[in-house]
Amino acid sequence: MTLPNIFCREDTKESKSSKEKILLKDISGEAREGEILAILGPSGSGKTTLIDALANRISNGSLKGCVTMNGESLESGVLKVISAYVMQDDLLFPMLTVEETLMFSAEFRLPRSISKSKKMARVQAVIDELGLRNAANTLIGDEGHRGISGGERRRVSIGVDIIHDPIVLFLDEPTSGLDSSCAFMVVKVLQRIARNGRIVIIVHYSSSLGVSLKQAIISSGKLVDSDVIDIAQTSTISKFANPFWVEFTVLLKRSLTNSKRKPKVLMLQICGIVLVGFSLASVYWQQLDKTGGGIQLRIGFFIFIVTSIFFGPADVLALLLQERYIFMRETAYNSYRSSSYVLYHSILVIPSLFIFSIIAASLTFWPVGLHGGFPRFLFHFLVIFASFWSANSVVSFASGLVSQVMLGYIGVSLLFSGFFIPRNSIPSYWLWFHYISAVKYPYQAILLNEFDKPNMCLAEGVAPNNSCLVTGLDILRQQDATDLSKWSCLWITLGMGVRILLYIFLLFGSRNKRK
């Protein structure tokens, strides 16, 4: 593998002028199969930038030069298939065992034409190669669950990325954060991997690894010193190893395996919904009568139901962020498609949302005395489910951004839902947000389900001509809730739960490349 004249730059802005900053200049060298090339240098010297350039993790607009293998230029698509990049952070599912983690990686990276027994054989070979035999059936673990050691986690991370037997392996400071014993073992494992015919290129801050390595020393973006490689160019290769439905199935299976070992998460969510439901039922018990005060309480009750649903999923944002980082690592080298991830994520939440909706609907319909019997209870349940579905979509999308974006959007959606400011009173330049408010449609659907009834009278007395003083239609008009039917509101709420924005963001916004 030859690295002729790598040159990298970035645009920086100083006051009002734009200035170009050179990160790497005239870097060249060779790496041979069977050897480890260690890129050394002080902090800020450009080591990680160089390895990112070699691994095609820097946008083309910022990079000049080329990487060749056997004298032939490596295209981006081919490089992703024949190489692997191990990041500094060990991004793994904590409730999977070492063997399960590697097996799921094999399901993603190895073609469907390879039998399951051969995939398992490959997993066992990698376990032996990494020296993980004694930890094969141990959970990865996290802060709350005892698992494997830090050195073993690092080796598992390496195993995830070499399961498809790449020709070239890039590692960004693989011994960072490890004690000397674990670091030495990791480097010995890398030597073993290199001896099996691979090119291994690592970044390290010093040469004190305890073993003899081929070194390239970088300082201030330039090559200071280098110890002074033939593999056939890979033929045409498919971008993804497996079809869409295989990726979807493996993603779903892996997540279910990880989740079933953390039942406390689901139980805490259920307890939270039960607590809020009982609190609402006790506060509004027999309070929603037909007086003016009772009607206003009823409307406030409805907006609180919807609001609590949309703010509720914020507590699982940390879990979604953890999974998002794993997604970015795995899709950087085409383990699976963004579309299969989005579909799996949509299907996975349906059973739990169904349970949440049944509990929430039961505690917010019968105990407080809402009208209509079972048919309207069923619609009430559907609106609650659609609201949970839409809220989960908002949280999923926000996990790709920041939590403040999600909370801000929900807050503004609540403001323009029609409860605080009637539609006719919203300034024209803000009216567009009223129609994209995630809160507007479920809130309006519940209002219609309660008040859109023929001959519904909400006044204690009647007028002299025996006509009703306040009807359900009067309440709907007061709330500007007559522009759509309740079924239209339900379908729009469900539509907002379709993760189109999440898919677009993952497709274009989560590319694991530096500018």
Helix, strand, or coil (residue 203): strand
Q: Are residues 193 and 110 in the same domain?
A: yes
pLDDT for 234: 42
Residue range 116-122: mean pLDDT, rounded: 93
Residue range 369-391: mean pLDDT, rounded: 89
Query: CATH number for the domain including 10?
Result: 3.40.50.300
Does 74 score more than 50 pLDDT? Answer: yes
Residue range 214-236: mean pLDDT, rounded: 49
Closest alpha carbon to 346 in 392, 385, 312, 314:
392
pLDDT tens figures, 277-324: 888 888 877 666 655 566 788 888 888 888 888 877 665 666 677 787
Residue range 227-253: mean pLDDT, rounded: 70
Q: What share of the chain is helix, strand, coil (3-state, %, to 5)?
A: 55, 15, 35
Higher pLDDT, 12 or 336: 336
Q: How confident is the model at residue 16 (pLDDT cuts 50, 70, 90)?
A: very low
Q: Are residues 265 and 304 in the same domain?
A: yes
pLDDT tens figures, 81-91: 788 888 888 88
Domain assignment of residue 234, yes or no: no
**Domain that residue 439 falls in:** 244-509
| Count of CB atoms situated within 10 Å of the CB of 115 | 10
**Of the residues 194, 226, 258, the one at which a domain ends:** 226
Higher pLDDT, 18 or 508: 508
pLDDT for 140: 92
Burial class, 467, CB count within 10 angstroms (exposed 0-12 / middle 13-18 / buried 19+): exposed
| Count of CB atoms situated within 10 Å of the CB of 232 | 9
Domain assignment of residue 72, yes or no: yes
Name the amino acid, one letter, at 97: T
pLDDT for 91: 85
Residue range 259-275: mean pLDDT, rounded: 87
Residue range 265-274: mean pLDDT, rounded: 87
Residue range 362-387: mean pLDDT, rounded: 88
Identify the residue whose tokens are 């790497």.
24
Give the per-residue SS3 of 234-296. Answer: CCCCCCCCCCHHHHHHHHHHHHHHHHCCCHHHHHHHHHHHHHHHHHHHHHCCCCCCCCHHHHH
pTM higher than 0.95 for the full model?
no
Q: Are residues 164 and 130 in the same domain?
A: yes
pLDDT for 232: 39
Q: Are residues 184 and 270 in the same domain?
A: no
At 351, list the tokens: 């059973």
Query: Using alpha carbons only, what angle is made at residue 83 by residues 80 and 88, rounded to the nearest 5 degrees?
Result: 100
Q: How confident is the model at residue 329 (pLDDT cuts 50, 70, 90)?
A: confident
Q: How confident is the model at residue 219 (pLDDT cuts 50, 70, 90)?
A: low
Of 23-27, 46-50, 239-243, 254-258, least confident by mean pLDDT is 23-27
Domain assignment of residue 515, yes or no: no
Domain assignment of residue 231, yes or no: no
Q: How far does Cα 396 stand from its chain's mean position?
A: 7
Does 410 score more than 80 pLDDT? Answer: no
pLDDT for 482: 82
pLDDT for 228: 41
Domain assignment of residue 372, yes or no: yes
Higher pLDDT, 297 or 136: 136
At 216, list the tokens: 């390239």
Domain assignment of residue 237, yes or no: no
Q: Are residues 272 and 144 in the same domain?
A: no
Q: Which of 116-125, 256-265, 400-409, 452-461 has the highest mean pLDDT?
A: 116-125
Does 17 score more than 90 pLDDT? Answer: no
Identify the residue whose tokens are 């959970």.
139
CA distances from 500 to 302, 329, 389, 390, 496 (A): 28, 21, 13, 12, 9
Domain assignment of residue 478, yes or no: yes
Does 254 score more than 70 pLDDT? Answer: yes
At 150, list the tokens: 């830090």
Of 23-37, 254-268, 312-326, least confident by mean pLDDT is 312-326
Does 21 score more than 80 pLDDT? Answer: no
**Of the residues 226, 258, 281, the one at which a domain ends:** 226
Does 396 score more than 90 pLDDT? Answer: no
Q: Are residues 375 and 255 in the same domain?
A: yes
Name the amino acid, one letter, at 505: F
Does 250 score more than 60 pLDDT? Answer: yes
pLDDT for 176: 81
Residue range 448-452: mean pLDDT, rounded: 87
pLDDT tens figures, 475-515: 888 888 888 899 999 999 998 888 777 777 777 765 555 55
Q: Are residues 267 and 125 in the same domain?
A: no
pLDDT tens figures, 35-63: 888 887 777 777 778 888 788 777 666 66
Q: Are residues 297 and 420 in the same domain?
A: yes
CA distance 270 to 257: 20
Closest alpha carbon to 399 in 266, 499, 494:
499
Please state, for a pLDDT cut of 90, what percent of the chain lies above it: 18
Radius of gyration over alpha carbons of the chain, in Å?
29
**Of the residues 193, 226, 259, the one at which a domain ends:** 226
**What letter does residue 58 receive in the DSSP assignment?**
B
Averaged pLDDT score across all residues of the chain: 79
Q: What is the count of structural domains for the chain?
A: 2
CA distance 133 to 127: 6
Q: Are residues 48 and 191 in the same domain?
A: yes
Helix, strand, or coil (residue 385): helix
pLDDT for 160: 92
Of 144-153, 165-174, 504-513, least confident by mean pLDDT is 504-513
63 and 8 in contact (C-beta within 8 Å)? yes
497 and 446 in contact (C-beta within 8 Å)? no
Q: Are residues 169 and 285 in the same domain?
A: no
Does 23 score more than 90 pLDDT? Answer: no
Identify the residue whose tokens are 């579909």.
343
46 and 211 in contact (C-beta within 8 Å)? no
158 and 174 in contact (C-beta within 8 Å)? yes
Burial class, 460, CB count within 10 angstroms (exposed 0-12 / middle 13-18 / buried 19+): exposed
Q: Are residues 375 and 276 in the same domain?
A: yes
Does 106 score more than 90 pLDDT? Answer: yes
Please state, for a pLDDT cut of 70, what percent of the chain lies above it: 77
Domain assignment of residue 337, yes or no: yes
Q: Are residues 215 and 253 in the same domain?
A: no
Helix, strand, or coil (residue 72): strand
Q: How confident is the model at residue 229 (pLDDT cuts 50, 70, 90)?
A: very low
Q: How confident is the model at residue 134 (pLDDT cuts 50, 70, 90)?
A: very high
Does 231 score more than 60 pLDDT? Answer: no
